[in-house]
Amino acid sequence: MKNEQQFKNQHVLVLGLAKSGEAASRLLFRLGAHVTVNDAKPIEENPKARELESLGIKVVCGAHPLTLLDEPIDFIVKNPGIPYSNPLIAEAIQRGISVVTEVELASMLSEADMIAITGSNGKTTTTTLVVEMLKNSGKEPLVAGNIGTVACEVAEKATTENIIVTEVSSFQLQGTENFHPKVAVLLNLFDAHLDYHGTKEAYGHAKAKIFANQQVSDFYVINVDDDYVVKLAEGVKGTKIPFSTTTEVTDGAYVKDHVVFFKDEKIIDQAEITLPGKHNLENILAAIAAAKTMGAHTDQIVQVLKSFTGVKHRVQYVTAYNNRKFFNDSKATNILAAQAAVSAFTEPVILLAGGLDRGNSFDAFIPSLEKVKAVVTFGETKEKIKSAAKEAGVEIIKEALNVEEAVPVAYDLSEAGDVILLSPACASWDQYKTFEERGDKFILAVEQLIQR
C-alpha cells in the first residue's frame, strides 16, 4: 500500500454498514485512524456493528444523530446508497467536512494501476471481459467493486504487478475527490437514477468524475456514438481511445465490414463472437480498447470473445430445449436495458417482463415490444406492460403470478426456433429480494420444465 501513513490518527466517520462500510472501517482502523461507525440498524439487530465494536471501534447505531458532527471529524466515508439529502450528510457538507465513498480510499492506497469502468448499462459485462482478456494474457488482474471484493480491500493487497479492474457506479463516483484510474471507461449515459441525482446533468457530472484527476499519461475510453458521453469527456487530459459501432475510428476500436478492429489491427470476425446483441458489441469494443491499452494480447482477446457467453443475469444463455433457447436477463431492471436485450435477437422472442411498479409508464417500451412474438407479464407492473404490449400490437399476451409460473406459460406459447427471454424492465423487489434471486428462480424453473 502507498500513502497509508496519512490516515494515522485521522478522525473518520463511516456512515452505513454494508460491505463497503465494514471494509472501510476495518481498513482505516488497521491504519491507525480513530473510527466511528454509524448505522441506522439498531445494535441488537446488527451483528456487523457488534463485531466492529468488539475490535475497539466506536459504534453508534439506530439513527444518524447530528451530534456526531460535533466530534472532531477529518472526513466521512459514506455508503454509496445513502443520498446526499440525508440530514447528516447535508449538514456535514454545510460544515465543509469532506464526504467520500470507499473507492476514494482504494485509489489513494493502491500500488496497482486501475481500470475503472462506468456507464448506465453494460458495466458488469465489460468489466468481466477486461478481466478475462488480461488474465488470459498473463497479466495479474484483480476484480474489485460492485462485482468483486470491495475496492479498498483489493487495494490493500495489490502490488505493482497487479491491475485492478473495477466497476464503479455514479453513486460511488459522486463521492470521489482524488480518484485516479490509469484507464477510465465511460460506456454510455441514459436517464437513470434520477431519484438519487435529481437531474440527468447531475447524474452525468457524477459519471464524469471518473476522468477528473487523469493526467496526460492516462487513458480514457469513450463511446463516440453517444453525444452526451463525448460532451462529458471534453477537456480530459489523458489520451482518448474511442470506440464506435458506426464509425471507423482508427485510433480506437471499431467495426468495419463485420470485422472488429483495434487501431487498424484485425481482432475478430463479428460472426465468431459468442455474445449476442449490438449493446454487447459496444461492451466488447470498450473491453478491447481497455485491455489492449494495458497490454492484453490479441490472440487471447479472440479466445475470450469466442467462448464468453455472458455474465450471469445479463442476457445470460441458460440452455436450449426442444429447439428453444432460454436467456436470463434479470439484471434488466429498467426499460433501456430490456430494449437492448430484445434488440439482441433476430429470432422470434417470447418476453417475460414485469416487477416493481416505480410509477413510470412503459410507453418508451412500445417500439421494442413491436418486435416480440408474445409477452408474459407478472408482478406489480403486469397491467402496465400488458397495456404497452397491446399498444404495440403484440397478439399473444398472458399473465403469470411470478417468474416461476411465467416459464411454462412462455414455453407453451413457443415454437421451435424461438427465444424465451426473461428481461423484466423492472426492479425485482415486489416479489424477490434481488434481481439475482429472480434470475436464479428463472433458471430453476427452466430446469424443472425440462424435467417434467
DSSP string, 76-139: EEE-TTS-TTSHHHHHHHHTT-EEE-HHHHHHHH--SEEEEEE-SS-HHHHHHHHHHHHHHTT-
Residues 94 and 134 in one domain: no
Nearest to 21, CA basis, from 103, 90, 115, 121: 103
Annotated binding site for ATP: 119-125
Containing domain of residue 372, as a range?
316-451
**Hey, what amino acid is at 248?**
E
Residue 185 lies in a domain: yes
Residues 173 and 289 in one domain: yes
Residues 161 and 303 in one domain: yes
Grid cell digits, residue 343: 434488440
Among candidate residues 100, 133, 152, the one where a domain is terminated? 100
Residues 263 and 114 in one domain: yes
**Domain count across the chain:** 3
CA distances from 37 to 76, 90, 166 (A): 10, 18, 25
CA–CA gap between residue 43 and residue 41 (Å, rounded): 6
Residues 376 and 231 in one domain: no
Residues 84 and 143 in one domain: no
Residue 105 lies in a domain: no
Tell me the three state secondary structure of residue 362. Answer: coil
Q: What CATH number is given to the structural domain containing 292? A: 3.40.1190.10
Residues 130 and 241 in one domain: yes
Nearest to 171, CA basis, from 218, 219, 120, 130: 120
Task: For the beta carbon of residue 327, count every other beta carbon within 10 angstroms.
Answer: 25
pLDDT at 192: 61
pLDDT at 296: 98
Task: For the beta carbon of residue 308, count every other beta carbon within 10 angstroms.
Answer: 19
pLDDT at 193: 66
Residues 150 and 240 in one domain: yes
pLDDT at 438: 98
Residues 178 and 222 in one domain: yes
Residue 327 lies in a domain: yes
pLDDT at 191: 66
Q: What CATH number is given to the structural domain containing 92? A: 3.40.50.720
Residue 136 lies in a domain: yes
Instruction: Please give the angle made by the CA atoms of 199, 205 and 207, to the nearest 5 degrees.
Output: 105
Residues 321 and 383 in one domain: yes
Q: What CATH number is given to the structural domain containing 351? A: 3.90.190.20
CA distances from 104 to 24, 56, 78, 108, 437 (A): 10, 24, 11, 6, 30
Among candidate residues 307, 328, 352, the one where a domain is terminated? 307
Please provide residue 407's backbone torsions phi and psi, each rounded to the nearest 5 degrees: -60, -55
Annotated binding site: 119-125
How does pLDDT run along the chain (452 residues), one tens digit per residue?
888 899 999 999 999 988 899 999 999 999 999 999 999 999 999 999 999 999 999 999 999 999 999 999 999 999 998 999 999 999 999 999 999 999 999 999 999 999 999 998 889 999 999 999 999 999 999 999 878 889 999 999 999 999 999 999 999 999 999 999 999 999 998 766 666 777 888 999 999 999 999 999 999 999 999 999 999 999 999 999 999 999 999 999 999 999 999 998 999 999 999 888 888 999 999 999 999 999 999 999 999 999 998 888 988 989 999 999 999 999 999 998 899 899 989 899 999 999 999 888 999 999 999 999 999 999 999 999 999 999 999 999 999 999 999 999 999 999 999 999 999 999 999 999 999 999 999 999 999 999 98
Among candidate residues 68, 100, 132, the one where a domain is terminated? 100
Residues 302 and 157 in one domain: yes
Residues 219 and 270 in one domain: yes
